[in-house]
Structures are given as C-alpha cells and as structure tokens.
C-alpha cells in the first residue's frame, strides 16, 4: 500500500507527513516527507485545549473549531506529499494514517498497588485517551480512506494505549545489531528496546521537550530553546533534580505511558519554576536525560547503542546530558539511515496498513495488553 502517515505530536509544533510503501510488515519505498508548522494561533489554542481537556464536552464549540483547523492543516500536508510523490513516482496514494492530536491521555494506573491502593481498585479504573481530528472530513477532503483512532481499543482492553511506534522501530532495525534502544524525544520521551531475539519492550521515559518548551516560552517568549542556547548557558540544579528523580513513575516497571502534562505538578513542587531561565532550562534538559537513564534500568540487557529521533536530538544540551548519563554510545537515528524528523509520521503510514489488514498494532511488551491486539478504524471517503 502507498500510505501517507500523519503525526501531530505532543510538542504541538505542527504536523509531520510522510509517504511510505508497506504491507504493514516490511517497509518498501520511502517517499517524500514534510512538516507543516501550525500557525501561532492554532498552537496556542491547542495548548489551551490540553488544559481544558479534562472538563471538555465532546460537542464544545471551541473544540470543534480547533478540530476543523487541525484537520484542514492535515489535508494541506497530504496535498503537499501527493504533489511531491507525483513529481518523483507519478503514482497516487492508497491510504492515510491519521494519528490526530492527543489532548488527554489517562492510561490505566501504571502499577496496581502503587498508584492505586489495591489491584482491584486499579481494575475499576479504566483508562481513557483522547485524540482529536475529524477523520471523516479528512477522507472527504482527500478522497482517500483514512485509518485513525489507533489507541482507544488498546486502552479499553486495559493497555496503556502508547507507545505505538515500537513495532515500526523493530521493522526498521531488522538488520541492526541487538540489543538496541531507539529513543524518541518529542514533548514526551519514549523508548523501544529490541532484544537479540527481537523481543520488544517499549514505554514512555518521562518528560522530554514539553516542559522545556513551556519554560522557554515563559522565559524568552520563543516556542523552544533553539539549539539548547538557554540550557547550555546554565547549570542543572542538583537539589531540584534530586526531588524530581524521586517521582514514582521512574521506578515503576513498564508498561507505562504519560500525558504531556503529567509532570507539571511535580516540576512545580520540586522548585523547578523558581530557577533562573538558564538554570531552569539546564535542569529540564538534564532531567529529560536522567529519565532516559532510569528507563534503561528496566531493560533486560544493556543496549549496544541508543539511536535518538525526534526534535530533542537537535538540542545539544539534551544530547550532552544523555551521553553523560548513558553507558552506550548515543547517536541520532540518521546514523542508521533513518529520518529522525519523519519517523513517527512514517510509522503511522505503516500502522495504517496494519489496521487495514487487521494485524496487531499493540503488544504485551509495548502497551501491556494481554495479547497482541488489532486496533484502529478505517473511514472511507
């Protein structure tokens, strides 16, 4: 299938789109990729939606307006990819994979007995996850079938609903030496550990760029700490880091996943927001790396290397802290020939093909579902 994968991640910076040819198992020709940034108004409104989400009615007018603008932007990204693919291949697309924008993610408690008072209480707390975007509208606007709603069946079955990309990391890494860790540093961090027998363990590591972006916006008015300038001019605060590293999420064994705002209160209580702009940024960049090191302690065997994708690999303060905190070499995914900006979008093309074929998209080692599970839905134009 000639798929167009679309991902708008927790950083709320825009939509990544990518052309991938795949049967959902093997990855064939990889085509053009684009990122269409959101305009500042949409970015601001989506950020507001995250705060409003817990109390938002599904038919809220502000939500509906955001969803329409978001879906339009995705349709623009599809149009651009089609133009580029036509120039290269003279072929049309078969299927879109549309992740949508996560505005709320409340997976089941990560560890019965720790987060919930008892295992029975945990079972009484079903999770929920909410990705917004109008798949039927996107199908109409593009005249293509759209695979969407990738996470909710998994959460309904007791899974974490995230991460979903690990199966695609494993497909891409087929020929690489194992054990291998693939790290994505978006708003939230997530890692995939692939063992020698292709065993998969994947989970969210902790906050990555999300708190740093909020911090940069508050202290400099910019959307993010470009090239880590602010962080590199400061010193990480050991006391704040010590308090943050005591967060129970880090020690809890996988499966586990996070909402973009899950650490907001912990960051405030640890005193991160009382630091200078530079020291605050240095502390948050280091915290991102220390969360990754804590994640590594849950692997069955140490990885030979860490391959890093997502925008965080462009932040030298984060990369330096990672190299300091991890024992194996830390390299951008480009060393394996992958595209670290488009990897997630490509993955949603592959996942769309899997949804179309009814193949499993979540696994006991990734989201913690009891059995490998199909999910997602396809809406026809």
Ligand X SMILES: Nc1ncnc2c1ncn2[C@@H]1O[C@H](COP(=O)(O)OP(=O)(O)OP(=O)(O)O)[C@@H](O)[C@H]1O
Ligand Y SMILES: CC(=O)N[C@H]1[C@@H]2OC[C@@H](O2)[C@@H](O)[C@@H]1O[C@H](C)C(=O)O
Which residue in the set 1, 4, 5, 10 belongs to the binding site for ligand X (CB under 6 A)? 10
What Rg, from alpha-carbon coordinates, does the chain have?
A: 20
> Going residue by residue from 87 to 126, which x/- string records binding to ligand Y, judged by CB under 6 A?
---------------x--x---------------------
Is position 310 an interface residue for ligand X (rule: CB under 6 A)?
yes
312 binds, among ligand X, ligand Y, none (CB under 5 to 8 A by kind): ligand X
Nearer to ligand X, 150 or 224 (CB): 224
**Which member of 211, 311, 375, 376 binds ligand X (CB under 6 A)?**
311
Name the binder of 21 from ligand Y, ligand X, none, CB < 5-8 A by kind. none
CB of 256 to ligand X, least distance (A): 15
Residue 106 CA to chain centroid, in angstroms? 15
Q: Total residues contacting ligand Y (rule CB under 6 A)?
A: 16
**17 or 165: CB nearest ligand Y:** 165
The answer on whether 311 is annotated among ligand-binding residues is: no
* Min separation Cβ 346 and ligand Y, Å: 11
When binding is defined by CB under 6 A, the residue of 149, 154, 204, 341 that contacts ligand Y is 204
Q: Which is nearer to ligand X, 314 or 356 (CB)?
A: 314
Residue closer to ligand X, measured from CB, 206 or 303: 206
* Contacts with 334 (C-beta within 8 Å, 6 or more apart), sequence order: 340
Quick one: 139 or 188, whose CB is closer to ligand X? 188
Question: What are the backbone dihedrals phi and psi of residue 235, each rounded to the nearest 5 degrees, phi first?
Answer: -120, 135
- Least distance to ligand Y from the beta carbon of 1, Å? 20
Query: Are the beta carbons of 360 and 150 closer than 8 angstroms?
Result: no
Residue 312 contacts ligand X per CB under 6 A: yes
Q: On the CB side of 78, how many CA atoms lie within 13 Å of its CA? A: 30
The reply, when asked if residue 227 is annotated as ligand binding, is: no
234 is in an annotated binding site: no
Write down the residue that tokens 């029975």 correspond to: 120
Residue 8 C-beta: closest distance to ligand X, Å? 7
Which residue numbers belong to the known binding site for ATP? Answer: 9-16
- Interacting residues with ligand Y (CB under 6 A): 9-10, 102, 105, 129, 162-165, 186-188, 190, 204, 257, 344
Which residue numbers belong to the known binding site? Answer: 9-16
- Interacting residues with ligand X (CB under 6 A): 9-11, 13, 184, 186-188, 209, 212-213, 224-228, 310-312, 314-315, 344
């Amino acid at each position: 299938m000639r798929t167009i994968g679309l991902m708008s991640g927790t950083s709320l910076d825009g939509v990544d789109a990518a052309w991938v040819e795949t049967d959902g198992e093997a990855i064939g020709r990889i085509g053009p990729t684009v990122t269409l940034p959101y305009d500042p108004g949409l970015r601001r409104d989506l950020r507001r939606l995250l705060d409003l989400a817990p109390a938002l009615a599904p038919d809220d007018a502000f939500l509906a307006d955001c969803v329409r603008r978001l879906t339009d932007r995705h349709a623009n990204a599809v149009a651009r990819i089609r133009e580029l693919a036509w120039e290269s291949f003279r072929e049309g697309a078969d299927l879109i994979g549309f992740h949508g924008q996560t505005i709320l993610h409340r997976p089941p408690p990560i560890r019965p007995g720790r987060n919930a008072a008892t295992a029975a209480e945990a079972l009484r707390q079903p999770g929920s996850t909410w990705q917004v975007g109008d798949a039927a509208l996107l199908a109409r606007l593009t005249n293509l079938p759209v695979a969407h709603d990738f996470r909710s069946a998994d959460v309904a079955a007791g899974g974490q609903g995230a991460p979903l990309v690990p199966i695609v990391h494993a497909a891409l890494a087929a020929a690489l030496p194992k054990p291998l860790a693939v790290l994505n540093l978006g708003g939230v961090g997530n890692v995939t550990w692939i063992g020698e027998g292709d065993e998969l363990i994947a989970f969210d590591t902790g906050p990555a760029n999300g708190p740093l972006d909020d911090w940069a916006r508050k202290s400099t008015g910019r959307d993010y700490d470009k090239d880590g300038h602010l962080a590199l001019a400061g010193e990480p605060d050991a006391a704040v880091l010590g308090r943050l590293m005591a967060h129970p999420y880090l020690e809890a064994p996988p499966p586990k996943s996070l909402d973009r705002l899950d650490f907001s209160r912990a960051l405030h209580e640890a005193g991160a927001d009382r630091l200078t702009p530079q020291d605050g940024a240095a502390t948050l960049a280091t915290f991102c790396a220390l969360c990754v090191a804590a994640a590594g302690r849950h692997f069955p065997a140490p990885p030979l290397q860490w391959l890093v994708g997502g925008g965080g690999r462009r932040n030298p303060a984060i990369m330096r802290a990672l190299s300091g905190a991890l024992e194996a070499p830390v390299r951008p995914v480009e060393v394996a020939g992958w595209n670290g900006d488009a990897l997630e979008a490509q993955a949603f093309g592959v996942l769309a093909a899997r949804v179309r074929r009814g193949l499993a998209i979540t696994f006991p080692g990734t989201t913690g579902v009891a059995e490998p599970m199909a999910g997602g839905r396809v809406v026809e134009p």
